[in-house]
Amino acid sequence: MIDQVLARNFRGLSAADIHLDPCLTLVLGPNGSGKSSLCGAIEYALTGACEWTDGAGRGASVLIAHGSAGASVSVGGAQLGTIERQITAKGSSVAFDSRTGKEAEAAIGAALPGSALLPAMLRSDGFLRLSGKEQQDLLFGLSGGETDAEWFRERLSDEEVEVLRPSLVTLLKGSALADSLYKDVYDKRTGAGRLVKELQAATAGSGDLQTPDLAPLETELAKARTKLSSVTEKIGGAVAAGKAHQLAHGRWQQADAEVKRIQQAIADMGDGPPDATEDLAGLQATADARKGEYADAIQAAAEVNAVRQTLQDQLEKFVALGDKCVLGGVVCPMDKAARGKIIKQTQASIDKLEAQIAQQYEAATAAEQAYNEACDAVDAARRQEQAVAQHATRVAQLSEQLAQAQERRDTAQAEYQQTGAANTDGLEADKALLDRRITELETELSAGRLAVNQAQQAQQVAEDLAKARAEYATLDALVKKLSPDGLPAQAMRETIGAVMDAINEVLSGFTEFKLVAEPGKDFELLVQYGDSPLYPVRCLSESERLRVGVAIQVAFATLTGFGFVVVDAADRLDNVNRPRLLGMLLDSGVQALVLATPANGRVPQAEGLTVYTLAGGTASAVVEEAAA
């Protein structure tokens, strides 16, 4: 997997070049020799962060050895390629084979396990130092985390699926989906609980409301309204008759006044204006003659103006030629004085024509004025002719209107004499009694309907409260089902079993420990030693935690296919457990780098084992003869 690790000026490592064995590489060194720095260098190379930086790799300048301008670390392998990171006081850079920067980081992320999982394989306590929630999520993700929305649908009732329908339309999986569903239903339950309290408060003051019988009141009210309608109709008839009498009298008076008005209008019309028909023809002939005179004057002025314009154009062309001839390029035979004389004579002719044009336009103006005056006389004669016709028409109209008005007057007088005045005294008294009774009945009915409405509202609130309580109960049960100890825990048990089996298989090779994971809200790894009761991993000793941590590393390396682990502080094991650990690593099929302090000055030796020593920040290979 990884062939070589190179570190320069990385914390306590001045020059550490280590060629890793395909199986097991052991690096021995006393405390402070740089073993933990080597472990951190590998983690920084693969992830861009380590325990001395934050999770994003910021603060990497602390990794530079004191007195050095920068540090570098690279990890390479035939299958992996070479990852190299450079660190300076100003920042860091990364290269992965031919790629650099963000492109290199993306390629590294695609080639290696996830950023949360990889540190758990490069530190013996990398997994155990995580919180319970982080451990649970990591195990779940490693196992595939295939609990998608369909998995939850299969374990929920139709009613529960309907409640969570919007949240189940998602691509989320695993703990992220479980957390989303739990939050959704928890919020819904909170809202349902609030509604139950509001409805309970609404029913507190309603008491035992009775629904009154409104039918007798409605029957009496209908009868009273029928009687009132009959009396009102009779009053209306009497009033209508009285109004008809008054209207007929008014129409008679109005028609009589109209007759007198029209008679006066006819008298005021008089004989009308005199007839002007005979004068109109003579006036029109005069106007036509003046129009011809005006047109002749305009035509004469236009003809003189055309002559003037022609002279003007010729003069401008002659002036523009200067001393050139019209033949083009030939010098004019006339001298300047002769040309000036011609120009002066021509301009004088133009001025004379312009004066003639002005006189002709003045004559045209006078002719136009005479024409306009003749037209005005024609118009006046025509208006007088129209006035004569209008007078005759108006007299005829008024005569016709007079005849119609006299007819209306006679008709209205006859109607007035046939009708009488209204008498509604008795009917009005009956109507007043009925109005008062109807008002009383409407008041009683309004109060009764209000009581009915309040009773119906109280019943509706009671029904809504029962429905809200049932909905709250459903949501409360669903909250419990989706709580960390419910379906999410079931999902964990169904998915992380293979991971726990892999870890326990590794543990069984060199310890009597067995790990148990019980998913839930307060997730915690438990350990069983032989037939002893279960107890938390946090209660193990340092050496026991180391063995458990290494087993988890090896299991993760096997499951991810990235078969490489770093075991730090292996010297915590005694002389019995240290060989057992090395033997397990040799048999695991995982490439391992083990960092430890020498025990009793002896260097282990086995097939598939390469040994290095660290001293003064430099790594040296231990040859086989020295190991013997």
Over residues 427-443, the pLDDT tens digits come to: 888 888 989 989 988 89
Q: Same domain, yes or no, for 277 and 414?
A: yes
pLDDT above 90 covers a percentage of the chain that reads 19
Angle at 423 between CA 420 and CA 427, to 5 degrees: 145
Instruction: Collect all residues with Cβ–Cβ distance below 8 Å to 440 and sequence separation of at least 6.
Output: none
Phi-psi region of 571 (alpha: psi -120 to 50; beta: other; left: phi over 0): alpha
The token pair at 447 is 């109060």
Residue 49 falls inside a structural domain: yes
Nearest CA-CA partner of 175 in 503, 521, 412? 521
Give 301-358 as a DSSP string: HHHHHHHHHHHHHHHHHHHHHTTB-TTSSSBPSS-HHHHHHHHHHHHHHHHHHHHHHH
Residue 226 in any domain: the answer is: no
Phi, psi of 73 (to 5 degrees): -150, 140
Do 174 and 52 sit in the same domain of this protein? no
Same domain, yes or no, for 413 and 503?
A: no
Question: So what's the pLDDT on residue 327?
Answer: 64
- Predicted confidence (pLDDT) at residue 326 exceeds the cutoff of 70: no
441-483: pLDDT as tens digits: 889 889 888 888 888 888 888 889 899 999 999 999 999 888 8
Reported in sequence order, the residue ranges of 138-292 that DSSP labels E, i.e. its strands, are: none
pLDDT of residue 599: 67
DSSP category for residue 329: S
Q: Is the entire prediction scored with pTM above 0.85?
A: no
pLDDT band for position 422 (50/70/90)?
low
Smallest CA-to-CA distance from 550 within 148, 120, 175, 261 is with 120
- Going by pLDDT thresholds of 50, 70 and 90, the confidence category of residue 543 is confident
Residue 223 lies in a domain: no
The winner for highest mean pLDDT among 185-189, 311-315, 419-423 is 185-189
527: part of which helix (H) or strand (E)?
strand 525-529
Residues 524 and 600 in one domain: no
* Residue 68 placed within a domain: yes
Looking at the structure, tell me whether residues 527 and 600 fall in a common domain.
no
Distance CA 124, CA 548 (A): 8
Regarding predicted confidence, which is higher, 157 or 212? 157
Domain of 366: which CATH number?
A: 1.10.287
Distance CA 97, CA 79 (A): 12
Give per-residue pLDDT as tens, 333-360: 778 888 888 888 889 998 998 898 888 8
Distance in angstroms (rounded) separating the CA atoms of residues 546 and 136: 20
Asked whether residue 83 is assigned to any structural domain, the reply reads: yes
Range 187-194 average pLDDT: 92
**Tokens 């090779």 map to which residue?**
509
**Same structural domain for residues 76 and 175?**
no
Q: Does 406 lie in the same domain as 276?
A: yes
Report which of 467, 464, 472, 469 is spatially closest to residue 185, judged by C-alpha positions: 472
pLDDT tens for 584-601 read 888 888 999 998 887 666
- The encoded tokens of residue 116 equal 């949360």
**pLDDT, position 565:** 92
Please give the angle made by the CA atoms of 477, 479 and 484, to the nearest 5 degrees: 125
Is residue 626 located within the same domain as residue 543? no
Does residue 183 sit in the same domain as residue 134?
no
Identify whether residues 378 and 414 lie together within a single domain.
yes
Q: Residue 468: what pLDDT?
A: 92
What was the pLDDT predicted at 190? 94
Task: Answer for the pair 24, 564: CB distance below 8 angstroms, yes or no.
Answer: no
Average pLDDT over residues 58-70: 92
Count of Cβ atoms closer than 10 Å to residue 243 Cβ: 14
Q: Which domain covers residue 333, as residue numbers? A: 249-418
Considering all CA atoms of the chain, what is the largest pairwise distance in Å, rounded to the nearest integer? 159
State residue 319's pLDDT score: 84
Q: 597: domain CATH number?
A: 3.40.50.300
Q: What integer pLDDT is reported at residue 121 of this predicted model?
A: 87
**Domains held by the chain: number:** 4
Q: Are residues 341 and 370 in the same domain?
A: yes
